[in-house]
């Protein structure tokens, strides 16, 4: 243990592919947290307080989240995934229900639906944003209305890569059938849709604070909502179903240990204080990439849509268009020691989902096309312009080689 801490080997993201490929220079990571002495002081203060869980730092972190997002309630939880689980349960999702969502997301979005014994009903996405396509959503609601009336309890739009989904239409479509909207805002802290914050646009929203997100608590997440009853349920369920008093020994309902500890909350407090700085640094890195890559033939760079009044950049993901090959570009980057990642492989094609639901190619053509063509470049608020230069030069070289020919 001493050795691991002493060596300071830098961030490691063991989530199946996020870690740099062998050969990558240690200074160029896929992502890196942006923490400094203020975070260190806060974590040490939490440690010295000797109250390491269920204390004032969590309450303060939650208070800051509600202020920043302009929502009524926030509940810190152990991860974004745990937050999705509890938010969906608060929306009344239970065994046999159906939940509409997108296949172009991190697997956690659909997994949380399965935890409740419900079934994810995937809806294809828009090519430009990777977000759930409201036209396809409307069709899916109509189909479900006939096939399984009353079984669709929720829709989970994901604000992919920080870009808010088409929420006005989604709200309108869901309202007609009394469907709850749970925003998966795990990639979108600080983004704004027509002047309103992502996470304040549905019935509840979930954020994640893994080290690659806009702010981090190490592991961690939050559920936010304006609904006081949902907030109380989430607060109870994260704490083994305890009643109001929190410390009580009476377990009113089946709960979990999904608590966010004090060290993590202290870290989150400082990160949230710094959010404007962190978001503008990320925006600057995205702009550097845009300057170097947006006129490159065969490559489509990400850009905020017309309804995105503020983009909170999560990853910088290119689309490599045919006849160029994404895989060939990725290999060339890797050969030059530059990590990159396929973000995302659509959920319906993940081995578990194929086995369980018979997912196959052809079901969601847009999500599949994005899965086959997108490539996320190293991205974080601590990246320097020089590092962006190096990555961009490698992308240019990879494309000039036209390695598919
Ligand atoms: C990060 C993320 C989550 C939550 O991840 P955790 O690792 O559980 O915090 C959920 N959905 C999406 C789309 C994400 O990017």
For 142-182, the DSSP string reads: HHHHHHSTT-EEEEE-B-GGGPPP-HHHHHHHHHHTT-EEE
Give the residue, out of 31, 79, 81, with the most ligand 1 atoms within 8 A of its beta carbon, to mutate for a pocket test. Answer: 81
Residues 200-246 have pLDDT tens digits of: 999 999 999 999 999 999 999 999 999 999 999 999 999 999 876 55
106 lines ligand 1 (CB under 6 A): yes
Query: Does residue 168 register a pLDDT over 50?
Result: yes
158 lines ligand 1 (CB under 6 A): yes
Question: What is the mean predicted confidence (pLDDT) over 107-131?
Answer: 98
Query: Does residue 20 register a pLDDT over 60?
Result: no
Q: Percentage of the chain with pLDDT > 70?
A: 91
Q: How far is the CA of 108 from the centre of ligand 1 (A)?
A: 6
Task: Write down the pLDDT at residue 10.
Answer: 46
Rg (CA), the chain: 21
Query: Does residue 6 register a pLDDT over 70?
Result: no
Question: What is the mean predicted confidence (pLDDT) over 319-331?
Answer: 95
User: Hey, what are 298's tokens?
Assistant: 């065969």
378 lines ligand 1 (CB under 6 A): no
* Of the listed ranges 6-10, 116-120, 165-169, 221-225, the one predicted with least confidence: 6-10
Strands 374-377 and 119-122: unpaired
Q: Which atom from ligand 1 is nearest to the alpha carbon of 109? A: 11
Q: Are the C-beta atoms of residues 160 and 131 closer than 8 Å to each other? A: yes
- Measured distance CA(254)–CA(81) in Å, rounded: 18
User: For ligand 1, atom 14, which residue shows the shortest CA distance?
Assistant: 186
Query: Does residue 404 register a pLDDT over 80?
Result: no
- Give the active site residue among 213, 233, 281, 400: 213
Query: Does residue 16 register a pLDDT over 50?
Result: no
Q: How far is the CA of 106 from the centre of ligand 1 (A)?
A: 6
Question: What is the mean predicted confidence (pLDDT) over 166-175?
Answer: 98
Task: Write down the pLDDT at residue 160.
Answer: 98
Task: Write down the pLDDT at residue 371.
Answer: 98
Give how far Cα 354 sits from Cα of 95, 349, 364, Å.
21, 6, 13
Q: Percentage of the chain with pLDDT > 90?
A: 88
104 lines ligand 1 (CB under 6 A): no
132 lines ligand 1 (CB under 6 A): no
pLDDT bracket for residue 193 (50, 70, 90): very high
Residues 52-101 have pLDDT tens digits of: 999 999 999 999 999 999 999 999 999 999 999 999 999 999 999 999 99
Q: How far is the CA of 252 from the centre of ligand 1 (A)?
A: 29
User: For ligand 1, atom 9, which residue shows the shortest CA distance?
Assistant: 80
Q: At which residue do the structure tokens 């096309």 appear?
A: 369
Question: What is the mean predicted confidence (pLDDT) over 95-110?
Answer: 98
Question: What is the mean predicted confidence (pLDDT) over 20-27?
Answer: 53
Strands 180-184 and 119-122: unpaired
Task: Write down the pLDDT at residue 401.
Answer: 73
Q: How far is the CA of 18 from the centre of ligand 1 (A)?
A: 13
Query: Does residue 5 register a pLDDT over 70?
Result: no
Angle formed by the axes of helices 326-335 and 385-400, to 10°?
A: 130
212 lines ligand 1 (CB under 6 A): no
- Measured distance CA(309)–CA(268) in Å, rounded: 25
Question: What is the mean predicted confidence (pLDDT) over 311-330?
Answer: 96
400 has catalytic annotation = no
Q: What is the pTM for the complete model shown?
A: 0.93
Residues 139-152 have pLDDT tens digits of: 999 999 999 999 99
Query: Does residue 15 register a pLDDT over 70?
Result: no
131 lines ligand 1 (CB under 6 A): no
Query: Does residue 403 register a pLDDT over 60?
Result: no
262 lines ligand 1 (CB under 6 A): no
Q: How far is the CA of 140 from the centre of ligand 1 (A)?
A: 25
Residues 290-304 have pLDDT tens digits of: 999 999 999 999 999
Q: How far is the CA of 249 from the centre of ligand 1 (A)?
A: 31
Distance in Å from the first CA to the final CA of the chain: 49
Residue 179 in 3-state DSSP?
Answer: coil
Strands 98-101 and 119-122: parallel
User: For ligand 1, atom 6, which residue shows the shortest CA distance?
Assistant: 80
Question: What is the mean predicted confidence (pLDDT) over 361-374?
Answer: 98
């Amino acid at each position: 243990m001493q050795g691991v801490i002493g060596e300071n080997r830098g961030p490691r993201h063991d989530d199946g592919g996020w870690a740099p490929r062998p050969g990558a220079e240690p200074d160029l990571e896929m992502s890196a947290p942006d923490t400094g002495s203020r975070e260190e002081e806060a974590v040490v203060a939490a440690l010295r307080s000797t109250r390491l869980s269920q204390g004032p730092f969590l309450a303060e972190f939650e208070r800051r989240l509600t202020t920043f997002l302009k929502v009524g309630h926030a509940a810190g939880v152990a991860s974004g995934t745990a937050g999705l689980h509890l938010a969906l349960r608060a929306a009344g999702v239970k065994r046999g229900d159906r939940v509409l969502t997108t296949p172009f997301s991190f697997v956690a979005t659909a997994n949380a639906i399965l935890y409740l014994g419900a079934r994810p009903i995937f809806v294809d996405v828009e090519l430009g944003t990777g977000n759930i396509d409201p036209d396809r959503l409307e069709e899916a609601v109509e189909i479900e209305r006939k096939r399984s009336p009353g079984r669709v309890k929720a829709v989970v739009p994901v604000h992919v890569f920080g870009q808010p989904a088409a929420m006005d239409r989604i709200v309108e479509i869901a309202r007609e059938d009394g469907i709850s909207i749970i925003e998966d805002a795990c990639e979108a802290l600080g983004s704004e849709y027509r002047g309103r914050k992502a996470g304040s646009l549905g019935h509840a929203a979930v954020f994640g604070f893994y080290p690659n997100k806009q702010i981090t608590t190490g592991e961690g997440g939050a559920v936010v909502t304006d609904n006081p009853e949902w907030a109380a349920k989430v607060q109870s369920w994260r704490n083994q179903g305890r009643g109001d008093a929190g410390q009580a020994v009476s377990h009113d309902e089946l709960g979990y240990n999904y608590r966010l500890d004090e060290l993590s909350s202290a870290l989150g407090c400082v990160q949230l204080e710094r959010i404007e700085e962190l978001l503008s640094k990320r925006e600057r890195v995205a702009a550097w990439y845009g300057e170097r890559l947006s006129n490159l033939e065969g490559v489509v760079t990400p850009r905020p849509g017309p309804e995105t009044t503020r983009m909170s950049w999560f990853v910088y993901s290119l689309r490599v268009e045919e006849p160029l090959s994404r895989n060939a570009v990725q290999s060339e980057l890797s050969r030059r020691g530059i990590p990159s990642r396929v973000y995302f492989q659509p959920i319906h094609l993940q081995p578990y989902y194929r086995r369980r639901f018979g997912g196959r190619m052809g079901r969601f053509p847009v999500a599949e096309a994005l899965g086959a063509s997108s490539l996320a470049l190293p991205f974080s608020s601590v990246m320097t312009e020089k590092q962006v230069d190096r990555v961009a030069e490698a992308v240019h070289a990879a494309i000039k080689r036209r390695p598919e020919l």
